[in-house]
């Protein structure tokens, strides 16, 4: 039996490769301001802190600073465009469904804890046929808090019917490692996601390069915990 009775995943860059559709939405709102598009590879490193932060980072790239009111309007336009184009190119990372099947057979349950808005997260997972796999899908607006505030992870665990002592977090970036550390939960980093700091440099408890490696990584954490 795997130690992790509940596995909590980040969404963007961990479960689903959402970058193509997020970058398309970013470049849509930048084009409305007469600005050049952000190259896909550069934009991947800007993802992870929500729509507003992504737009701010896109503007900063051109040295642009705008007031809060205009940023708010751009964020609304971004969300409206993204909501209608949320799964045009976004796809689960390779190996996800198989890994979930293996872990579910071992008695694991799953949840999502993301800084994406909850309704957008659910829409995306619905479109990809994945929503039913998760006992809880919680976003930045679910509890009014975002990663790395540990309250969002603790409340996600509670909503999923889990317990902190038997939960493991899986994520690709600093907010994921930070929220797990602050909540006292072991964390596995994925090195294929969206971050400007290599995930190994953030010192998660384990690092995987493909979701097929997740069951073994969870077993390793379990064995390490039993030794302690």
Q: What is the pLDDT of residues 138-173, one digit of tens each?
A: 999 999 999 999 999 999 999 999 999 999 999 999
- Look at the chain and report how many structural domains it folds into: 2
Residues 34 and 142 in one domain: no
Residues 6+ apart with CB under 8 A from 17: 90, 91, 92, 93
Secondary structure element (H or E) that encloses residue 214, with its range:
helix 214-227
CATH of the domain at 209: 3.40.50.1000
Tokens (6 digits) for 213: 């490696």
Residues 6+ apart with CB under 8 A from 147: 10, 113, 114, 115, 153, 175, 176, 178, 179
Provide the whole-model pTM: 0.92
Residues 185 and 74 in one domain: no
135 in Cβ contact with 22 (< 8 Å): no
| Choice among 10, 17, 21, 172 that is catalytic | 10
Active site residue 10: yes
Is 215 among the domain residues? Answer: yes
Residues 122 and 13 in one domain: yes
Residues 101 and 161 in one domain: yes
Residues 169 and 218 in one domain: yes
Is 61 among the domain residues? Answer: yes
Nearest to 7 by CA among 193, 221, 175: 221
111 in Cβ contact with 11 (< 8 Å): no
Residues 111 and 80 in one domain: no
Is 1 among the domain residues? Answer: no
CATH of the domain at 76: 1.10.150.240
Report the C-alpha gap between 105 and 77 in whole angstroms: 42
Q: What is the pLDDT of residue 1?
A: 39
Query: Which of 84, 110, 130 is the last residue in one of the domains?
Result: 84
Residues 80 and 149 in one domain: no
Residues 10 and 121 in one domain: yes
Residues 34 and 79 in one domain: yes
Structural domain harbouring 79: 19-84
User: What is the pLDDT tens value at each position of the chain, 228 positions in all?
Assistant: 345 799 999 999 999 999 999 999 999 999 998 888 988 888 887 887 778 889 998 888 877 878 889 899 999 999 999 999 999 999 999 999 999 999 999 999 999 999 999 999 999 999 999 999 999 999 999 999 999 999 999 999 999 999 999 999 999 999 999 999 999 999 999 999 998 899 999 999 999 999 999 999 999 998 876 544
Residues 61 and 158 in one domain: no
Query: Which of 38, 55, 84 is the last residue in one of the domains?
Result: 84
Phi, psi for residue 208 in degrees, rounded to 5: -125, 155
Give me the residue label for tokens 């995930």.
199
Query: Which of 43, 67, 84 is the last residue in one of the domains?
Result: 84
Residues 60 and 169 in one domain: no
Residues 102 and 202 in one domain: yes
DSSP 118-164: HHHHHHHHHHTT-GGG-SEEE-TTTSS--TTSHHHHHHHHHHTT--G
Is 37 among the domain residues? Answer: yes
């Amino acid at each position: 039996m795997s130690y992790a009775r509940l596995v909590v995943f980040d969404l963007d860059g961990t479960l689903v490769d959402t970058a193509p559709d997020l970058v398309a939405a970013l470049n849509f709102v930048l084009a409305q301001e007469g600005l050049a598009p952000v190259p896909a590879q550069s934009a991947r490193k800007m993802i992870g802190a929500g729509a507003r932060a992504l737009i701010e980072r896109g503007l900063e790239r051109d040295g642009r600073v705008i007031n809060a009111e205009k940023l708010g309007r751009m964020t609304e336009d971004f969300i409206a465009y993204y909501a209608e184009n949320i799964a045009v190119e976004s796809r689960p990372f390779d190996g996800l469904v198989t890994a979930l099947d293996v872990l579910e057979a071992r008695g694991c349950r799953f949840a999502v804890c993301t800084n994406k808005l909850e309704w957008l997260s659910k829409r995306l997972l619905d479109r990809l046929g994945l929503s039913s796999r998760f006992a809880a899908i919680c976003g930045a607006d679910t509890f009014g808090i975002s990663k790395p505030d540990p309250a969002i992870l603790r409340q996600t665990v509670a909503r999923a019917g889990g317990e902190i002592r038997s939960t493991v977090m899986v994520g690709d970036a600093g907010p994921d490692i930070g929220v797990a550390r602050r909540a006292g939960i072991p964390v596995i980093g994925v090195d294929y996601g969206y971050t400007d700091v290599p995930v190994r440099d953030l010192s998660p408890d384990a690092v995987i390069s493909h979701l097929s490696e997740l069951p073994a990584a969870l077993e390793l954490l379990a064995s390490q915990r039993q030794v302690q």
